[in-house]
Amino acid sequence: MGDFWLYLRLGFEHITDITAYDHLLFLVALTASYSWFRWKAIALVVTAFTIGHSITLALAATGVLRLPGNFIEFLIPLTIFITALYSLFTIKRIGSGNPSVHYPMAVVFGFIHGMGFSNYLSSLLGREESIFLPLLSFNIGIEIGQIIFVALLLTLSTLVVRFTQIKFKQWAALLTFLSLLLSVYLMYQTKFW
């Protein structure tokens, strides 16, 4: 059971590491238009994202799927850009996130983000006889980290709206627009060009 906790901790630390900010930016673009009133929908959207990248991690860890690193480095910020652009045009009111679009978006874009984790995880799994338990616990650690991050984001949004003159739509649009701008910068910085 020690390996379970080790990989869970590694997954949690990997997602909460400041160098994983591209993954966190995607979560901002995906969830900024939601409020605490929609916590079930948010949890399902975040879990859909985890499912997407878990599948890709499993395929990459077993050697079934390989893509060039510089291509993935470009695709990850592209997913942030597309998600932020969609969210910007659909923010209408408090909690206006659209789960029927965000669920499939989270799964599909999760496949791409999973490739970003694959090199890190593959190097860790190289010593393991079976990858099932380490892969499961690593993804649970990522999921816990994501849920904590989104909970902090929603709490910050609630406080800003409650204690300032900023309206929810303005705040959600600001967060989403910042993630969009940063995604453009990240795409520009890739070696894909």
Q: What is the pLDDT of residue 106?
A: 93
Q: What is the pLDDT of residue 72?
A: 86
Cα separation, 171 vs 158, whole angstroms: 10
Q: What is the pLDDT of residue 97?
A: 61
Question: Length of the chain, please?
Answer: 193
Domain residue ranges of the chain, discontinuous segments joined by +: 21-127+142-189
Q: What is the pLDDT of residue 64?
A: 79
Q: What is the pLDDT of residue 151?
A: 95
Q: What is the pLDDT of residue 174?
A: 96
Q: What is the pLDDT of residue 117?
A: 72
Q: What is the pLDDT of residue 34?
A: 87
Q: What is the dihedral of CA 97, 114, 9, 127, to 10 degrees?
A: 170
Nearest in space to 136 (alpha carbons), one of 73, 30, 51: 51
| Lookup: tokens for 71 | 């291509």
Q: What is the pLDDT of residue 119?
A: 66
Tell me the average confidence (pLDDT) per consecutive run of 10 residues in the chain, 193 residues long: 83 84 93 87 92 86 75 92 91 64 91 79 67 87 94 95 92 95 93 61
pTM of this structure: 0.89
Cα separation, 193 vs 117, whole angstroms: 22
Q: What is the pLDDT of residue 66?
A: 75
Q: What is the pLDDT of residue 99?
A: 72
Cα separation, 4 vs 75, whole angstroms: 31
